[in-house]
Amino acid sequence: MYTGDHIAISATLAAIASRRFSLNYVTLATCMILANLVDLDHLFYFHLDDGTANSLLLHPLHIYSGILVFACGVFALIKKEKAMFSFLIGFAIATHMCADSLAHFLHYNYTSLFIYDMLELVLMFFVFKKCVCYGSHLKLFSFMVAQDILITFAQWLSLIQWEPQKEIFVYILPNILLVIATSLFWLIFKSKIEMHHSRT
């Protein structure tokens, strides 16, 4: 899956979770989005990857991601007050793997991914509309859509412009953009977004 989509889906799931478990949205979303930095391991085997490879068979952090999810579970058992937070970071890693599996299943077909993108944006809109009570959900939604389009486009452009097996930059770029987008999100929205808290 493209980096912009990973960010959008992490931000959406963080909104549901922060509402359900009364957690700070911006902190949780920042950590869940940064969990997608597992894509840094594309750097190890970039010479084997044409941009459509099955990461779960090729890239070490993806292959051993089960250990990361397990570590989050163990940390949750040790630090009771951080249990939910830690489980959710593990959930973000598991979601990343799920999205990569789906993208490979769809053969990274642009039309299929576009349909997936549209469904994801509709879901994100309704989740933000339902969950965000203080601070404009439209502003948050617009920010996430803008970063999704910009990062996905930059990644797609780098894949078709350079030979992915020769240019490690193709895989460095999305991670740099992920960190920049997350930092901007944190700076713009910290203390500005509050969630409706679930009563159950």
Q: For 176-193, b where at least 16 C-beta lie within 10 A, e where not — what string?
A: ebbeebbeebeeebeeeb
For residue 26, list its beta bridge partners.
Answer: none
Interaction between residue 5 and Zn ion (CB under 5 A): no
Judged by CB under 5 A, the stretch of 23-31, 51-59, 116-124, 174-182 that binds Zn ion is 51-59
Residues 154-193 interacting with Zn ion (rule: CB under 5 A): none
Number of H helices, E strands in the chain: 9, 2
Distance CA 147, CA 3 (A): 10
Is the separation of the CB atoms in 56 and 62 below 8 Å? yes
Measured from the CB atom, is 18 or 175 closer to Zn ion?
175
Give least dist CB 103 to Zn ion, A.
Answer: 9
> Could you say which of 3, 10, 18, 55 contacts Zn ion (CB under 5 A)?
55
Q: Quick one: which of 5, 41, 49, 100 contacts Zn ion (CB under 5 A)?
A: 100
Work out how close the CB of 42 gets to Zn ion at its nearest, in angstroms, rounded to a whole number: 7
DSSP string, 125-166: HHHHHHHEEES-HHHHHHHHHHHHHHHHHHHHHHHHHS-TTT
Size of the site for Zn ion (CB under 5 A): 3
Contacting Zn ion within 10-39 (CB under 5 A): 39
Q: How far is the CB of 118 from Zn ion (least distance, A)?
A: 21
Positive or negative torsion for Cα 176, 64, 116, 193: negative
- Nearer to Zn ion by Cβ, of 23 and 56: the residue is 56
Residues binding Zn ion (CB under 5 A): 39, 55, 100
